[in-house]
Structure 1
Amino acid sequence: MPAYKDKKRNTWYANFYYQDWTGERKHKCKRGFKTQREAKDYERNFLDQQSKSSDILFSSLIENYLEDMEYRLKPTTMKNKRYLIELKLIPYFGKLKICDIDTIAVRKWQNILLTSSDENGKPYSATYIRTINNQLSAVLNYAVKHYKLASNPCRAAGVIGKSKAEKMSIWTKEQFEFFITHINKSAMKLAFDVLFYTGMRSGELLALTPEDILPEKRINICKNYAMVNGVEMFLVPKTPRSKRCIAIPDFLYDELQEYMARLYECEPDKRIFYFTKHALEKEIKRKAETADLPIIRVHDLRHSHASLLIEMGFDILEVSERLGHESVQTTWDTYSHLYPDKDQKLAGQLNRLRRPEDT
C-alpha cells in the first residue's frame, strides 16, 4: 500500500486500483495529503469501505450504512440517527473490525451507558438507553445481512433500558388552560391551543397553511414541516394513516380564522406559523416554570389530548384515528394504562348477558 510524493506541490497522493460493487476494476487517485501516513490511511479506509466481509472496520461499515439509509429514511430520522451513531457508537467501536465486536464488548459498552449522565449530571433515561442500544443492534443486523457477520452480538448481550417511560407526562385540561393564560403572543397561544385540542404532532402544526383549514371546520393534515441543518423541508407524514382530516371545535376554528385574517399577505399555500419546534419547546418550558406547572415537552400535549379524549369516554379506535396512528395496537400500547377499569367494564358486560336483571 504505497503512497507517492508530489514533488511540485510538496504533498503526498494515493494512487491505486480497486474493484467496485459490480466487480469492475477501477482506478482511484487522490492528491493533496500533507503526510505519507494520511495518504496511506485514505487508501486503507477507501478499500475497507469496498469490503463485503466481516473484517471491515466498524467506522467504515457506518459510512456505508448511513449512505445506504440516506435513500430510505426521512431527513429528520437520518439526522437523529447520525447524532446517536457519532456520539455513542463510533467512539467505542469505530476502530474495531465488526467481526471482533463480541458479546463481552457489547456488554461493557452497555455498562458504560447504564452509568452515564447528561451534561446536567442526570442519568440517562431508560428510554434513551434503549434507543441507543437499538441503534447499535440495527447497525449490526445490517452487517449480518450484507457483510457476512455470523450473528448479531447484541442479541446475546441482552436488551437494556425500557421501550416506554414508566410514567407519561401530561397536563389536564385545567392545567393547560392555566398555562395558556401566561402566553402573551397570539401566534404562540393559538399554536398551543391547536396542539392540545387536536393532538397534532408539532411538525404537522408547523406545516399548516390556510388551505388546510377547511370551511367544514376540519383540518386537513397532509404534510410535515422540519428544519434539517438549517434547511426548511416539507415532508410526507410519518405514516400513511398520518394523512387525515380531523374535525375541530367551533372555538378553535374561529380562533384560526381570526388569526389568519390578521396575517399580512396570507397566501393559501404559505405556512401559518413561522416559528420553529425549538421555539415551541423553549416557550412551553419557560411558561410552565412561570405558572409553576410540571415541565412537559411539546409532544406531551399530544399525549394530553389523547388522555382528554379517553377521559371523555371515546374508545381506543376513535382516539387512534384522530391521532393518525398506523394501527390501533400502537395506540393501545401507548395509552392502555389510561383505561384502568377496562377489565371491570368487560366483566360487567359479560355478566349482563347472563343476568340482565342486574342492570
Structure 2
Amino acid sequence: MRGHIAKKGNKYYIVIDLDRDEVTGKRKQKWLSGYDRKRDAEKALPNVLSDFMKGTFVEPSKKTFGEIMKSWLEDKKTSVKHGTWKSYEWLVNSHIIPNLGNVQVTKLKPQHLHDLYHKTLIDKLSVGSIKKAHVLILDALNRAVIWGMISQNVAQYVDLPQGKKKKFEVWNEDQLRVFLDAASKDQYYMAFELAASTGMRQSEILALRRVDVDLQTKTASVRQAYTLAEVGHDFDDTKNDSSVRSIALFVDTVKLLESHFRHQDRERETNPLYNDSGLVIQTSVGTPLGPRNLMRHFYRIMEAIVKDDSDFPKIRFHDLRHTHATLLLKAGIHPKIVQERLGHSSINVTLDTYSHVLPNLQESVLKNIGDSITGTRIPTPKTTLID
C-alpha cells in the first residue's frame, strides 16, 4: 500500500492507493482531509499508512464536539430517568457546548478539556458537578470511538480538579425539636416528621403509600420514588436496589401517622373534590404533592423561626436526612443500622458521609468498655481528710 500528497485548491491531501476494483479493474484511491500545510500532510502520512495496513484506520469525522454531545444527549433521553436527563441537559447545553461545542471532534485535545475543567468551570460549578460533566464527556466520546468517528477518547487522559467535600449542616436535638414544634400546625407536618425520624429521601416520602405503612409492626416500606416526568410527575423505582427497604418507626411517629390517617379519612368522606391517590403525603384534595410545594412550606417555617432567633441555623430539606443519621450515630447506634435505615448501597458510603461524627463517638465507647482493652477498671484512689 502506498500513498502520496496531492494539492487541490489551497489544501493538501493524503491520497492512499488502494487495491484495484475486482469488477472494473480500476485503481481505487482514498483522499483524506485537507491540510493547510504540505509538511503537516507529509508528517501524518506514515501514521495513516500504518493504520490502513493494520486495519485500525478511522476516517476523521467532520462533526463538531457540540454535535457529538447533542446526539449523545438525545439518545440518553430514552435510557435514563427524566430528572436525571434534565441534569445532563443542563450540563451539556449550559456548560459543555457553549465552551467547546465549535471544536471539530477530531481536533479535540486533552488540553481543551483540562482548561474547561480547571479554568472555565472551576469558578462556576462545584467540583462534583465538574466530575459529572467529565463522566458525560467520557461516555459520549467512548461512543464516538465505537461508532468509528474518532480513533481515541482524549478525555481519559485528563486529570480532574480536586476540592473539599461539600459539608452539610445538621440540627441538634433541641434545634430539631424547635423546628418540629413550629411545623406541627402545618399541612405537611407529617412529611417533616418522616424526614427527621426515618431519614427517608424527599422523593421516597412523596411516593410513600399508605399500604406500605404497617402501624401494627411499626414499619414503613420504601418501594418507589417520586420523579419528574416530561409532563407532570411519575412514580419510579428507588435510587438503587438497597433503597428498597423497611424502616422501623418510632412510637411517636406511629401515633402521628394514626392521627394523620384519620384526618385523611375524614377529608375523603366529607370533601366531594377529594381524589385520594393513596399516598401518605398528598394535597388537600388528595393528589400527589410536588417537591416545590413542599419546599415552600419547609422554608416558610424555617424563616419564621430565624426571624425570632437569628442564630438558628438554616439547612436544606435533605439535611433532615443527615440530621437523622447524625443523631442516631451520636446516640451510639451502630453504623450498619444507620446504613440500612438510609438505604445506602454499602456501609462504606455511610462511614464516608458521616466520618466527621464517628471520631466523637470513640470516647464514649471506650468508657463503656472500661479503663483498659481487657475491660478492667482502675480503682479510684480514696481521699483522706486531715483535720
Shorter chain as normaliser: what TM range? Answer: 0.7 to 0.9
| 1:333 is the counterpart of 2:340 | no
Q: Which residue of 1 aligns with 2:303?
A: 289
CA contact (8 A) 2:204 2:224 kept: yes
CA contact (8 A) 2:82 2:229 kept: yes
CA contact (8 A) 1:75 1:228 kept: yes
Q: Which residue of 2 aligns with 1:251?
A: 252
In terms of mean alpha carbon deviation, does 318-327 or 175-184 score higher? 175-184
Distance 2:61 2:222 in 1: 45
Q: Quick one: structure 1 residues 295 and 145, their matched pair in 2 at CA, closer, same or farther if it must change by over 3 Å? A: farther
Q: Which residue of 2 aligns with 1:57?
A: 64
Distance 1:128 1:232 in 2: 25
CA contact (8 A) 1:208 1:272 kept: yes
Distance 2:213 2:59 in 1: 52
1:305-343 CA distances to partner (integer Å, 9 max, x unpaired)? Answer: 110110111111111111111111121221122111577
Unaligned segments of structure 1, at least 5 residues: 1-50, 117-123
The alignment-based identity, stated in percent, is 25
Q: Displacement, 1:136?
A: 3.3
| 1:299 is the counterpart of 2:318 | yes
Q: Quick one: structure 1 residues 308 and 109, their matched pair in 2 at CA, closer, same or farther if it must change by over 3 Å? A: same
| 1:270 is the counterpart of 2:284 | no
SS in 1 for 2:188: helix
Q: Displacement, 1:145?
A: 4.7
TM-score by length of 2: 0.69
CA RMSD of aligned residues (A): 3.0
1:25-58 CA distances to partner (integer Å, 9 max, x unpaired)? Answer: xxxxxxxxxxxxxxxxxxxxxxxxxx99654322
Aligned residues: 300
CA contact (8 A) 1:101 1:153 kept: yes
1:110-167 CA distances to partner (integer Å, 9 max, x unpaired)? Answer: 2111233xxxxxxx444344434444344334444554544443443321253731x2
Q: Which residue of 2 aligns with 1:212?
A: 212
CA contact (8 A) 2:370 2:377 kept: no
**Residues 60-75 of structure 1 aligned to structure 2 (within 5 Å):** 60-75=67-82
Distance 1:96 1:324 in 2: 43
Q: Quick one: structure 1 residues 54 and 158, their matched pair in 2 at CA, closer, same or farther if it must change by over 3 Å? A: farther
Q: Aligned letter for 1:288?
A: M
Unaligned segments of structure 2, at least 5 residues: 1-57, 269-273, 283-288, 307-311, 379-387
SS in 1 for 2:221: strand
Q: Quick one: structure 1 residues 95 and 194, their matched pair in 2 at CA, closer, same or farther if it must change by over 3 Å? A: same
Distance 2:173 2:145 in 1: 49
In terms of mean alpha carbon deviation, does 323-332 or 141-150 score higher? 141-150
SS in 1 for 2:226: strand
CA contact (8 A) 2:330 2:361 kept: no
TM-score by length of 1: 0.73
1:244-293 CA distances to partner (integer Å, 9 max, x unpaired)? Answer: 11110111111112112112238886223232212233333332232123
CA contact (8 A) 1:133 1:160 kept: no
| 1:96 is the counterpart of 2:103 | yes
1:66-122 CA distances to partner (integer Å, 9 max, x unpaired)? Answer: 244334322221121112211111111222222222122123322111233xxxxxx
SS in 2 for 1:291: helix
Q: Displacement, 1:181?
A: 2.7
CA contact (8 A) 1:280 1:298 kept: no
Q: Quick one: structure 1 residues 260 and 357, their matched pair in 2 at CA, closer, same or farther if it must change by over 3 Å? A: closer
Distance 2:164 2:68 in 1: 27
Alignment match of 1:279 (pick from 273, 276, 293): 293
| 1:320 is the counterpart of 2:339 | yes
Distance 1:276 1:60 in 2: 35
1:183-225 CA distances to partner (integer Å, 9 max, x unpaired)? Answer: 3654321110110100000010000121111131110110001
CA contact (8 A) 1:187 1:273 kept: no
Distance 1:201 1:214 in 2: 19
Distance 2:147 2:163 in 1: 29
Larger Rg: 2
Q: Which residue of 2 aligns with 1:106?
A: 113
Q: Which residue of 2 aligns with 1:228?
A: 229
Q: Which residue of 2 aligns with 1:13?
A: none
Q: Which residue of 2 aligns with 1:11?
A: none
SS in 1 for 2:234: strand
In terms of mean alpha carbon deviation, does 68-77 or 314-323 score higher? 68-77
CA contact (8 A) 2:82 2:228 kept: no
CA contact (8 A) 1:54 1:149 kept: yes
Q: Displacement, 1:356?
A: 4.7
Distance 1:155 1:201 in 2: 34
| 1:187 is the counterpart of 2:179 | no
Distance 1:90 1:80 in 2: 14
| 1:84 is the counterpart of 2:91 | yes
Q: Quick one: structure 1 residues 103 and 329, their matched pair in 2 at CA, closer, same or farther if it must change by over 3 Å? A: same
In terms of mean alpha carbon deviation, does 134-143 or 241-250 score higher? 134-143
